[in-house]
Amino acid sequence: MKFKNIIILLLCLLLTRSYSQQSQKCGKYEFFHQKEKNIWQKIKYKGSELKAISNESNLFLIFDCSSVNISKDNSFLLIRQILSDKFEKDSIEYLSTYEAPYIVIDSDNDAFAPDFVSIQDKKLVFFSNSQGKGEFADDHNLLYEGKKYFFIEDFMEKLPDEVKNKRVILNVDSVEELIQNNPINNKNVRLYNDIAFFLGYKESIYLLQKILEKYPSRVVAYLNIADSYWLSGDKTKAQENYKKYVALMKSQNKEIRKIPNRVWTRIK
């Protein structure tokens, strides 16, 4: 009888050990293995399974808790999602080089978070008051509507139209973060200028100032920032920038007749 009890005890210990090897707790989250030790499928949050997330189509790459980023309020989880079945062929070697993209999980609602997010020093940073349906996957890729991935350069092509139609709302903090993730350069300065055109005057002024810091001879930026200052009620700064715009038009041999009539009226 004692021997039987010892066997039962050993089996219980073995099962407990096996279970502990197949799960990983990180704060209020618990992850469960699937197929390989670094492949996780089922996720529990505060003891309850995230059923919408824990399905056959969602596999996650977690090496340890340091590869999981959790928001301060614990409601959002930044995690790497496996989008390829190659790991089944040569798991260990493939996982060591696989660049799994980041996604954001809204744990409170058991869903992928409909917000912009970026990775900065392994911290979750949201676009303030953003209403766009997408997430930055990393500094180069992002997850957009329909869980389709785009390079950030491709998304930038879409952004002016998204802002124009108010599908994406950007405040100053959002614009600042966008620039941090995708610095202004020769390839995207036109797009940034277009985005500024559709922003509120406060956000527009901030973005155009950033453009002019890098490109102080960009003529159209002076016209746009002057218009934004005028709308904000700061007519002194508006006139300064209108005059700078006119001066650059002349020095760069641009067609003076293309200067809008409002410029001449406002600098009198």
Contact of 48 with 68, CB cutoff 8 Å: no
Residue 72 phi/psi, 5-degree rounding, is: -60, -35
Report if residue 226 sits inside a domain. Answer: no
pTM of full prediction above 0.95: no
Report if residue 33 sits inside a domain. Answer: yes
Report if residue 25 sits inside a domain. Answer: yes
Report if residue 103 sits inside a domain. Answer: yes
Report if residue 267 sits inside a domain. Answer: no
Closest CA to 241 of 210, 205, 214, 207: 205
Neighbouring C-beta atoms of residue 26, cutoff 10 Å: 17
pLDDT per residue, tens digit, the chain (268 aa), is 455 555 555 555 444 444 444 788 988 999 887 656 677 878 899 889 988 888 777 788 888 888 787 776 777 777 777 765 555 544 555 566 666 666 778 787 777 654 455 555 454 444 443 444 445 544 444 444 444 445 566 677 888 988 888 777 788 887 887 887 678 999 899 999 999 999 999 999 999 999 999 999 999 999 999 999 999 999 999 999 999 999 999 999 999 999 999 999 999 8
Domain range for residue 62? 1-113
Report if residue 230 sits inside a domain. Answer: no
Residue 106 phi/psi, 5-degree rounding, is: -90, 100
Number of domains in the chain: 1
Contact of 40 with 60, CB cutoff 8 Å: yes
Question: How far is Cα 218 from Cα 13, in angstroms, rounded to an integer?
Answer: 71
Report if residue 45 sits inside a domain. Answer: yes
Report if residue 28 sits inside a domain. Answer: yes
